[in-house]
Structure formats: structure tokens, C-alpha cells
Amino acid sequence: MDIDRDLLLLMLRRMWMIRNFELKVMEVHSAGEFAGGAHPYIGEEAVAVGACAALEDTDYIAGNHRSHGHPIAKGGRVDKAMAELYGRVDGYCKGKGGSMHLADYSIGILGESGILGSSVPVAVGAALAASIKGEKFVSLAFFGDGASNQGALHESMNLASVWNLPIIFICENNQYAVTTSYADTVAVEHVSDRASAYNMPGILVDGQDAIAMYEATASAVGRARAGDGPSLIEGLTYRFEEHSLGLGRVRRGEYRTQEEIDNWRKRDPLDILEHNIISQGVATREECDAINAKTVEEVEKATEFARNSPFPEPSDLFDDMWADPIAFP
């Protein structure tokens, strides 16, 4: 596939944005600037960015607890995301959702779910709407290797297949669910092998390679828009950091070796994309560095925005419960 220069640079920009957002989150979280947990996406940027690069604003995504990468990859705003982590009124959810529940309905980000597997049927529903209405939008569901064992996945893939829905299931196989290796919990070698049980294509992709993720997703999106039904894509990737901030009990190296971590870090998705971009003459090292620097700046501004945004007022507590309001008991 021949990828547009702009798209490559957009991917690079978004990947840097995620990386720098997450680095900042780790910094301000350890400085105690906000309290809730957060699950860094560092190391996995190519999966969400490659996948979302194949989508339009009118397409939908739904995600999970490891939640900052998906919305940024879909074009979400870092200022509203950061303000949400800070629990401020200018956050995406006015501070009500926090790290695990970013959403931006203006650009098809249906929201991240803290209950694993639980957003996948919801994504199926968006695709169902496309099918009923005869419209061309598609839907994309992110879930982890751990969540792939949830019953919700089985039901969702089966529904999508029998109804021939325009949805792409993206398994982010970072090989662990917290401390548990996927080899110990997934009965089959690759999650993507399960696609055959639903009569849909199952594609195993190098999740460190944004271009590979883009190409696989673009082709699945093409199928979906053409009415050829769902696909399952597994991006094989790795979480460079620990499972979550604020879950202090799990020490690095306790469930995976330093050697394994080091080896995977050598396959940093940003290095891989930059190498491709530079070697193909799409941009220079300096231009790549400038993109990185620009995102550092944006993240910095976003953090200032978050810090300066006010907290909600106690009287806001009852807002947003109901669309057609009722008296509170």
C-alpha cells in the first residue's frame, strides 16, 4: 500500500502526542497533581494510531481502561483529556469520568470503559446502526489480550458476523493482563486465531509498526464499508511501563524479566515509524524531531490548561444524570 505523506506525518504526530502525554501524566501523577489511577499506553502507540489513521471523523471507536491512547489516536484533544485527568470542569467529561472514561462524541469517540470487554458490544451497536440505516460509517473496538477471554467478545464477534456488520475488532495484545501472561489465560496461540470461529478474517500484525497496523486496518475498513463484514486484527505489542500508575504493589520484573522488557524497548514504535519515514524520504530527522517537540509543547499547554481549569462546583453533582431530567429522590 502506498501511504500518503500527510497521513504518515499525522501518525507520527499522534504517536508523539500519546508518548508525551503519557510521560507528562506519569510526571504529574507522581508529583501528586491528581489522584486517580491511570494506565500508560507507552510502547503501544502504533496500535491505536495505525488503526485510527484508517478512520474518518464520522467513524466510531470504543475503548478500555488503557484509555489515553485511543482518543488521542482518533484526533481527540489533549487539553480536554488532561483536564479530565485533573478532574476539572473543562475536561472531556467535566471531571466526572477521569482517566478511564475519556470520550469525545463530536468525533466518534464513544468512550472508554473501565469494565473490560464491556465496550465491545456497544461498538457492535454503532455498526448495527450503520447497517440498519444503510450508512457507510464503521466502528472499531479496542480490547486487550486479557479482555479477549470475556464472554462479551464471543457474543460481539458472533453478532457482528451473523449480521455482517461494519466493525473491526482490534485486540491490543500486550501479552499481559496486569501480572498474568496471556499464554496462561488464552487457550490459543494468537487471539486472531479465534477469528475463524466467527467466520471472519483474523489478522496478526506487528503492533510496533504503525504502518502495518494502518494497512491491516485500512483494508478491514474497506471490507466493512463495502458491506463485507467484520474483521479481527491483533496487534502484537508490549506495555513498556507498569500496568497502572498508583498500583504500587506490583514491582517491575516480578512477573516479567528485565531482559524481556529491554528487548521490547528496542522495538519502540516511534523509532520504527521514524526510521520508515526518514528512510523513505518522507521527512528528515529534524522534521521528525520538530514534530516531537511540537507535541511536547502542546502537552505542556494542555497541562497548564488543566491546572488552570476550575473544579466543578458541588452543585454540579446532579447534572448529567438524565437527558430528560427527573426529580432526585
Partner 1 sequence: MAQTVFIEAINQAIIEEMRRDENVFIMGEDIRRSVYGATANLLSEFGEKRVLDTPLSENGFFGAAIGASLVGMRPIVETLTSFMWVGMDQLISQAAKMRYMFGGQATLPVVYRASMFYGGGSAAHHSDRSYPMFMNMPGIKVIVPSNPADMKGLLKSAVRDNDPCIVFEDGTLAGMRGEVPENEDLPGDELIVPFGQAEMVREGTDCTIVGVAGGVNIAASVSDQLAQEGISVEVIDPRTLVPFDKKTILNSVEKTGRLVITDPAHKVCSAASEIASIVAEEGFWSLQAPIQKVASEQVHIPYTPALEPHVYPDVEKVTAAVKRTLES
Site for Mg ion in 160-199 (CB under 5 A): 174, 177
Q: How many CA atoms lie within 13 A of 196 on its CB side?
A: 4
Rounded to a whole number of angstroms, the minimum distance from the CB of residue 243 to Mg ion is 9
> How far from chain centre, in Å, is Cα 187?
25
Q: Which position has the grid cell 496471556? A: 182
Candidates 88, 194, 223, 239; binder of partner 1 (CB under 8 A) is 88
**Residue list 105-164, contact with a copy of itself (CB under 8 A):** 149-155, 157-158, 161-162
Give the three cell numbers for residue 43.
510502547
Write out the DSSP string of 46-89: HHHHHHHTT--TTSEEEE-SS-SHHHHHTT--HHHHHHHHTT-T
- 184 counts as binding a copy of itself under rule CB under 8 A: yes
- Quickly list DSSP for 110-164: EEE-SSTTTHHHHHHHHHHHHHHHT----EEEEEETTGGGSHHHHHHHHHHHHTT
Binding mask 121-160 for partner 1 (x = CB under 8 A): xxxxxxxxx-xxx-----x------xx-xxxx--xx-xx-
Whether 149 and 212 have beta carbons less than 8 Å apart is answered as no
Residues 55-84 that bind a copy of itself (CB under 8 A): none
**Residue the block writes with cell 491511570:** 38
Q: Is 63 a residue that touches ligand TPP (CB under 6 A)?
A: no
Is 113 one of the binding residues for partner 1 (CB under 8 A)? yes
Q: Please state the closest distance from residue 294 (CB atom) to ligand TPP, in A.
A: 28
- Binding-site size for ligand TPP (CB under 6 A) equals 15
Under the binding rule (CB under 8 A), the answer on residue 188 touching partner 1 is no
Considering the complex, what minimum distance in angstroms separates the CB of residue 155 from a copy of itself? 5
Residue selected from 15, 53, 140, 177 as contacting partner 1 according to rule CB under 8 A? 177
Backbone φ and ψ for 204, nearest 5 degrees, come out as -95, 125
Please report, for residues 174, 189, 239, 286, the alpha-carbon distance to residue 261 in angstroms, rounded to integers and kept in the order given.
12, 21, 9, 28
Identify what 207 binds: ligand TPP, a copy of itself, partner 1, none; CB under 5 to 8 Å per kind: none
- Between CA 16 and CA 206 the distance in angstroms is 19
Smallest separation (angstroms) from ligand TPP to the CB of 173 = 7
Stated as kind and residue range, the H or E segment containing 236 is: strand 231-236
Give yes or no for residue 74 binding partner 1 (CB under 8 A): no
- The helix/strand/coil state of 31 is coil
Identified binder of a copy of itself from the candidate list 58, 106, 199, 284, rule CB under 8 A: 199
- x/- map, 5-34, partner 1, by CB under 8 A: -----------------------------x
Per CB under 5 A, does 145 bind Mg ion? yes
Q: How far apart are CA 135 and CA 165, in angstroms?
A: 11
Least distance from ligand TPP to the Cβ atom of residue 116, Å: 4
Nearer to Mg ion, 90 or 145 (CB): 145
Does residue 234 interact with Mg ion by CB under 5 A?
Answer: no
CB 249 within 8 A of CB 179: no
Please name the amino acid found at residue 241: E
Q: Is 235 in the site for Mg ion (CB under 5 A)?
A: no
Give how many residues touch Mg ion by CB under 5 A.
Answer: 5
CA distance 217 to 159: 20
User: Is residue 92 a contact point for partner 1 (CB under 8 A)?
Assistant: yes
**Residue 4 contact among partner 1, Mg ion, ligand TPP, none, beta carbon within 5 to 8 Å by kind:** none
Binding site for a copy of itself (CB under 8 A): 149-155, 157-158, 161-162, 184-189, 193-194, 196-200
